[in-house]
Amino acid sequence: MNRTYKSDVLMLVMLFAMLMSGCLNVRQKTVINEDGSGTINLHYWTRSMGDIPYGDDIDGYSFIESEVRKKYESPNTQITAFKKFDDNKDSTNHYDLTIGFKDINKLTDASGFSRIKISYLKSNDGYDFKYFIPKDTTLKQEYIKDDHTLEYTFVFPKEVISTNGKIEDSKDHNTVKWVIPVRDHKVKDFELTASVKDKSGICGLFGIELPFILFAGLVFNRFRKR
């Protein structure tokens, strides 16, 4: 193989790698239990050539099974289901996995979640949820299509009081979705927030002090009658 041919092959490989960069869609659905444990269904896909996409890691998401398991296995997390498949209709390569976790606040113990910052902590009115996603300046803007998105859905144990996402129509009003264009993800950070009722479904003053107020009222009423 002469030097010119090698150079041409290298240029082609680099071109395909560039075309692959940024061409990614992600759907992540997280279910949080009352004790802070739960499950994540993570589904991501990108355009491929045959069975293997160019590059084993695209925008932080790996397309080699052994690397995927390294990213999402930790003392706090475990992959309970794993599936990869190709969609011949649009020539895309898909990875779909279910991840169980013991504590949502320790999700970043897994390297696949190390870039985010997450907290689900008790507050006066219930629980405050925050999920911070830093911008990704490695994305190549010119190869990002308008339909490339990062979609995050969280199902909380109780009703969501307020959020900067969209509450899905459901009986319990406990499911929130955020859809982030990949194009915007390159230039700015995102923080997903929600306030969730506590497990009793009664918040603040009435959740803690109401029984004492009622008891004091009964005692006062009895003494007044006497």
* Domain spans, the chain: 3-225
Stated pTM of the model: 0.76
- Going along the chain, which residue ranges are E strands? 24-32, 38-47, 57-58, 61-62, 77-87, 92-101, 117-122, 126-133, 149-155, 160-163, 166-167, 175-181, 190-197
Residues in a beta bridge with 118? 131
Residues in a beta bridge with 190? 133
Contacts by 187-191, CB closer than 8 A, 24 or more apart: 187/135, 188/135, 189/132, 189/133, 189/134, 189/135, 190/132, 190/133, 190/135, 191/130, 191/131, 191/132, 191/133, 191/164
**pLDDT, tens digit (0-9, with 9 covering 90-100), for 95-123:** 999 999 999 999 999 999 999 999 999 99
Encoding tokens for residue 17?
Answer: 């790698």
Residue 106 CB: number of other CB atoms within 10 A?
A: 16
Cβ atoms of residues 135 and 180 within 8 Å = no
Residue 24 CB: number of other CB atoms within 10 A?
A: 22
Per-residue confidence in pLDDT tens, the chain, 226 aa: 555 554 544 444 433 443 444 478 899 999 999 999 999 999 999 876 544 444 567 778 888 999 999 999 999 999 999 999 988 888 888 999 999 999 999 999 999 999 999 999 999 889 999 999 999 866 665 556 667 889 999 999 999 999 999 999 878 899 999 999 888 888 899 999 999 998 654 444 444 455 555 566 665 666 566 5
